[in-house]
Amino acid sequence: MSVQNEFTKHAKNYNNNNIIQQIIAKALIRDINSMPKTILELGCGSGQVYKNIDWEVDFYCAVDFASSMCKLHPRNKKVKVECFDFDTDEFFDFLKNYKFDTVVSASALQWSKNLPKLVSKLAESTNNINAVLFTSNTFKSIQKITNKKSPILNEESIKKAFLNSFDCEFEKYTYNLEFDNKKEMFDYIKNSGVSGDSSLSFKDAKKLYKEYNLNYLEFEVIFVRTISKS
């Protein structure tokens, strides 16, 4: 199952299962001091980033590749919601028509199939990017047990992709999300969207349920703030 299908499948439950994403969205907006008037958001989901903006904007363009997510995003005369895969030529052609004060993204860009190219295209439409990405160390204990490689980009790859086009500041954080029992934990993994299309076989799932002894899930995120174009 593709990443896009995973998000579409669980769209109705997403707001109940994206606790870490909500924390990240709040932190992302809190760190923006310039109060930009024109904003492009990539991977807008149901609007968790937009809902944290407490200043007046002139134009907010929210982009997501899951149509079911786009339907959940707030809309008004200043908000334009577009259903695009941000790795496609269709999106790049759309981008040519706009200039933005800043581009924001919370927990989405790690799914890019070609992050260096995406960042370079964004650099043609903005001088500023504020983003948070999950890294491959998310669910790292699960990966050790199942011996299954993370579908998410690692920290080094993320930094390199941005540094090809910008001078940047990076900050890395880890979060542990605790659960009362394993069923709640595994339901979270299934419904949150963080695991993407990296589904487990019945054998691996059974092994994981038996051997995973932590009462929490591990998340690692990297905050990216561009300073100038390189």
Q: Give mean pLDDT in consecutive 10-residue pieces for the chain, a chain of 230 residues.
A: 34 53 90 94 95 96 93 95 96 97 96 97 98 95 89 95 98 91 83 59 83 92 94
Residue 21: closest CA among 129, 108, 82: 108
What confidence score (pLDDT) does residue 17 get?
A: 56
State pTM to two decimals: 0.87
The SS3 of residue 97 is coil
What's the gap between Cα 191 and its chain centre? 15
Tokens of 6: 């995973």
Say how far apart CA 7 and CA 65 lie, in whole Å: 9
- For tokens 């439409």, the residue is 125
Quick one: pLDDT at residue 182? Answer: 86
Domain ranges of the chain: 3-136+151-176+220-229
Instruction: Give the span between the Cα atoms of 228 and 230, in whole angstroms.
Output: 6
- Domain 3-136+151-176+220-229: give its CATH superfamily: Vaccinia Virus protein VP39 (3.40.50.150)
Q: What is the pLDDT of residue 9?
A: 36
Cα–chain center distance at 154: 14
